[in-house]
Chain A
Amino acid sequence: GQQLNQSPQSMFIQEGEDVSMNCTSSSIFNTWLWYKQDPGEGPVLLIALYKAGELTSNGRLTAQFGITRKDSFLNISASIPSDVGIYFCAGHLVGGGGANSKLTFGKGITLSVRP
């Protein structure tokens, strides 16, 4: 099946540092979505990207839809303790409809922030 690759599985940063995560695929995607999951909760949408090259910010978060439509990155600036959680990328494949209606997820990156 289609795969979204996120690595590493875990990241450890110091409070106040910036961190960048990326997500890659061999397939072309129509949309890229970034979600955050807190322990015991469902994933919550952070940023949605709909056009190749699009750069979108949400507070301290910035995400970009890669020009090739096969990748995306998420930046978190000036990290704080509540940034701890699992960050997932997700996307819809080109040719949406039918099986491509489904949203494909990466395996997620667990972010730890040291005070």
Chain B
Amino acid sequence: NAGVTQTPKFRILKIGQSMTLQCAQDMNHNYMYWYRQDPGMGLKLIYYSVGAGITDKGEVPNGYNVSRSTTEDFPLRLELAAPSQTSVYFCASSSGVATEAFFGQGTRLTVV
């Protein structure tokens, strides 16, 4: 199994551009998450989803949007990129509440 797959691995955006970070999982997990990781700050939750068609905000949702049209996919959209969104983004999935989450390899995004 591939597990959680994120694309792209690296991206440089100009201020004001938009892009979608892709995340797919093949474990039939209901729960999916997007985190951002900044140096020394741990992982902060951006958005999460408990199933297809259901999404909710995490700690730091401003500047991002998500959708969950299928169980497998959970894309993260940046509409107007800002330098503050320079970070490493991780997608994760889990089979249910209070179970372990499995992570993708991350997308390193730089906004210049």
Q: Which A residues form the contact surface with B (CB < 8 A)? A: 1, 9, 30-31, 33, 35, 40-45, 48, 50, 88, 90, 92, 96-108
Interface residues on B, range: 20 to 34
> B42, A1: Cβ atoms under 8 Å?
no
Q: Which residues of B are found within 8 Å of A44, using beta-carbon distances?
A: 103
> B99, A31: Cβ atoms under 8 Å?
yes
> B103, A42: Cβ atoms under 8 Å?
yes
Q: Which residues of B are found within 8 Å of A104, using beta-carbon distances?
A: 45
> Would A42 and B106 be within 8 Å (CB), given that A99-B56, A101-B50 are in contact?
yes
Q: Which residues of A are found within 8 Å of B45, using beta-carbon distances?
A: 102-104
> B31, A101: Cβ atoms under 8 Å?
yes
Q: Which residues of B are found within 8 Å of A9, using beta-carbon distances?
A: 40
Residue of B nearest to A108 (CB): B42
> Would A43 and B90 be within 8 Å (CB), given that A1-B59, A92-B98, A103-B101 are in contact?
yes
Contacts A42-B105, A101-B50 known; 5 new A-B pairs at CB < 8 A: A31-B99, A41-B106, A50-B98, A90-B43, A105-B44
> Would A107 and B42 be within 8 Å (CB), given that A96-B97, A101-B48, A101-B97 are in contact?
yes
> B42, A106: Cβ atoms under 8 Å?
yes
> B42, A102: Cβ atoms under 8 Å?
no
B94: CB under 8 A from chain A? yes
A19 → B minimal CB distance (Å):
19
> Would A97 and B105 be within 8 Å (CB), given that A88-B43, A102-B33 are in contact?
no
In Å, the complex CA distance between A48 and B48 comes to 21
Residue of B nearest to A106 (CB): B42
B9 → A minimal CB distance (Å):
9
Q: Which residues of B are found within 8 Å of A1, using beta-carbon distances?
A: 59
